Each structure stands twice: as C-alpha cells, then as structure tokens.
C-alpha cells in the first residue's frame, strides 16, 4: 500500500502551542513506544465474539453532554471494555481511577457506563466466556468518523474485515466494528452529540492510543486512507518503527512495531490513561489485584 510519510524534520509543521498536539505528546509517546518495545502486550479478545451482545437495544448516554458541533475524524473518542466479570472490573477501575458507574440493562445485556467528574469516559460490557475458552477482557477503541458507511467501504476496499455492520445506537450515534488488514480490531463512531474537544486529558482520562503491529508501514497506510491522517516517522531503536498519526494538526495515535521478543503476537490497539504518578499508580494496580506486564 502507498503511504505518504513525513520525516521527523517535518513535524515542526504541527502547531506546538495547542494542548494535546504533537509537541505536547512527543515525550509521552516516546515513553509509550519505549514501554511497548520492552514487551508490554495485552492479549486481545476476539471482539467479534461480543457482537451479539452489543447488538442488544441499549439506551446509552451521549458521548458529549451537552451536545456540541465538534467533529474530529480520526480521534479516539470512546473506549469499551468487554469483560466476563463486570462487577470485578467496576471495582478495579473505580479504585484505580476514581471512575463512577451507571448500570444499564436491556434484556440479557449488562452494561455499565463509566464517568469521571460527571462526563462519560468508557463503557463496560458483560460477556460470558465459555468454560472451554481462555480469553481475557479486552478494550475496544472507537475512532470518530463523519460517515460510518463510507468508512466501511474504504476499510473493506483496503483489506479490512467487517466484524459488525454499521448500525445506529440510540443517543450514541452510528457505529461499526472492523479488523484491519493485520487483524487489529477497532470501531468507528459517528457521534450524534459531537466529538469531545481537543484539550489535554486530565488524570483518569484517555490520553493516547498505539497500534502494535507486525507491519507498521502497511497499517499506517491503511489508517491514512481511512482517516486521512498525516504520518510522521519518529526515532526508534534499530529494527523497529515508531510512526505518529495526526489530523487537524493534532497527534491522534501511533503505530509501533511488535516487540522483538514477541514477533508473532497478534496486532492490537493499546490505549493509555493519563495519571499523575506512574510509579504510585503501578503499585496501586498491584494492590487492586492487577498485574504488571
């Protein structure tokens, strides 16, 4: 696939003043890439198995309240956790980030909306795992688009698989779920209430998203066609790649090589939450029953 890429020298075209733009996240994303290269991997649940549960009629809160007219194609605007233990997940993230939850149930579907300071930051979906399966919970990333059906056509024409056809969710918008050409699962959403503004994330909010993949160039080209990203090549260790994806002069995500010690790991999106102290938060993760990868 053809990719239009800018070298690091071109990155000064990005406005260095506005919060959350490339210059603000540069140091952070370099650390993220280093962390990934050290072997941080989250085994990704096959989200297609969650499709039937997501198809249940749920009355979900809007992404933005009050509604806005902002639209930022290519921006990560929401994340959902598919988990076999909703109660344990709520307890863990409440203790870790101070999230509060509003439970929603429709038929056999159990869903919890996570809030931080009164605004939604995530959704948690209960999905039973058969006794003979060993699948861990997984986060599904939702990227903003202005036309879900057009996004489906572009994705399909460029090697992606449609895991969940475009559909409307009351008060949420129109969405679909895909697997990119290397198999990484993600979702697109045309939010009916607008997209969150481009401001620097506060502690407890999502701040970054990295695609960890076996073929960064091909993957970056795919997402460039889908979201009209600019692609910047950033410094990386020998034998690896660190590509930054940007739109509207904002840093949106990065594409990173799989770690050398896990070259056959399944490509996946890995999302980051901003914290005030990574060392203290790591200790808190362990105290709450989490593991350091």
Helix, strand or coil for residue 11? helix
* pLDDT for the residue 124: 96
Which pLDDT score is estimated for 176?
Answer: 97
pLDDT for 18: 37
**What Å distances lie between residue 84 and 37, 88, 103, 137, CA to CA?**
29, 9, 15, 7
Over residues 249-265, the pLDDT tens digits come to 999 999 999 887 787 88
Give the mean pLDDT of 29-34.
Answer: 38
Query: What is the C-alpha to C-alpha distance for residues 141 and 189, in angstroms, rounded to an integer?
Result: 10
Torsion of CA 92, 96, 102, 105, to 10 degrees: -30
What pLDDT digit, counting tens, does each position of 144-189 carry? 999 999 999 999 999 999 999 999 998 899 999 999 999 999 999 9
Instruction: Write down the pTM of the prediction.
Output: 0.81
Tell me: pLDDT of 43 over 60.
no
Write the DSSP symbol of residue 214: S
Reported as a single tens digit per residue, the pLDDT across 69-125 is 899 999 999 999 999 999 999 999 999 999 999 999 877 789 999 999 988 899 999
In this prediction, residues 236-258 reach a mean pLDDT of: 90
Provide the pLDDT confidence category of residue 14 given band limits of 50, 70 and 90: very low
- The residue-averaged pLDDT of 24-39 equals 36
| pLDDT-above-70 percentage for the chain | 80
Tell whether the model's pLDDT for residue 248 goes beyond 50: yes
Residues 177 and 161: their CA atoms lie apart, in Å, by: 9
Band of pLDDT at residue 33, cut at 50, 70 and 90: very low
Residue 29's pLDDT band, with cuts at 50, 70 and 90, is very low
pLDDT digits (tens, 9 = 90+) for 196-231: 888 889 999 999 999 999 999 999 999 999 999 999
Say whether pLDDT at 131 is over 80: no
Omega before residue 200 within 30° of 0, cis: no
The alpha helices in the chain, defined as continuous H runs, are: 22-37, 51-54, 86-97, 148-157, 216-227, 278-287
**Residue ranges per structural domain of the chain:** 5-49+68-287
| pLDDT at position 168 | 93
CATH class as words, domain 5-49+68-287: alpha beta
192, 188, 204: which is closest to 269 by C-alpha? 188
Q: Terminus-to-terminus CA distance in the chain, angstroms?
A: 33
Residue 27 confidence class, pLDDT cut points 50, 70, 90: very low
Q: Residue 4: what pLDDT?
A: 57
Q: What is the pLDDT of residue 42?
A: 36
What mean pLDDT comes out for the span 22-33?
36
- Of 264, 268, 269, 78, the residue nearest 171 (C-alpha): 78
């Amino acid at each position: 696939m053809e990719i239009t890429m800018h070298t690091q020298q071109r990155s000064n075209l990005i406005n260095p003043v506005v919060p959350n733009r490339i210059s603000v996240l540069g140091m952070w994303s370099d650390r993220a890439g280093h962390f990934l290269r050290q072997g941080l991997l989250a085994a990704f649940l096959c989200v297609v198995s969650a499709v039937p549960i997501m198809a249940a009629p749920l009355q979900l809160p809007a992404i933005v309240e009050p509604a806005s007219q902002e639209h930022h194609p290519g921006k990560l605007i929401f994340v959902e956790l598919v988990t076999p233990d909703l109660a344990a997940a709520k307890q863990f993230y409440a203790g870790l980030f101070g999230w509060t939850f509003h439970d929603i149930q429709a038929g056999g579907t159990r869903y919890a909306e996570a809030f931080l300071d009164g605004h939604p930051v995530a959704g948690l979906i209960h999905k039973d795992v058969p006794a003979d399966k060993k699948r861990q919970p997984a986060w599904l990333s939702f990227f903003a688009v202005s036309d879900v059906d057009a996004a489906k056509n572009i994705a399909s024409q460029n090697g992606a698989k449609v895991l969940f056809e475009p559909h409307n969710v009351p008060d949420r918008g129109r969405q679909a779920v895909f697997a990119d050409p290397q198999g990484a699962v993600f979702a697109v959403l045309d939010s009916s209430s607008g997209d969150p503004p481009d401001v620097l994330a506060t502690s407890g909010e999502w701040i970054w998203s990295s695609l960890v993949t076996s073929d960064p160039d091909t993957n970056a080209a795919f997402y460039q066609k889908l979201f009209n990203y600019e692609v910047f090549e950033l410094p990386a260790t020998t034998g690896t790649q660190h590509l930054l994806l940007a739109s509207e002069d904002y840093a949106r995500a990065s594409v990173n090589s799989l770690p050398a010690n896990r070259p056959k790991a399944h490509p996946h999106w890995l999302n980051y939450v901003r914290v005030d102290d990574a060392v203290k938060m790591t200790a808190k993760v362990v105290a709450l029953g989490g593991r350091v990868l």
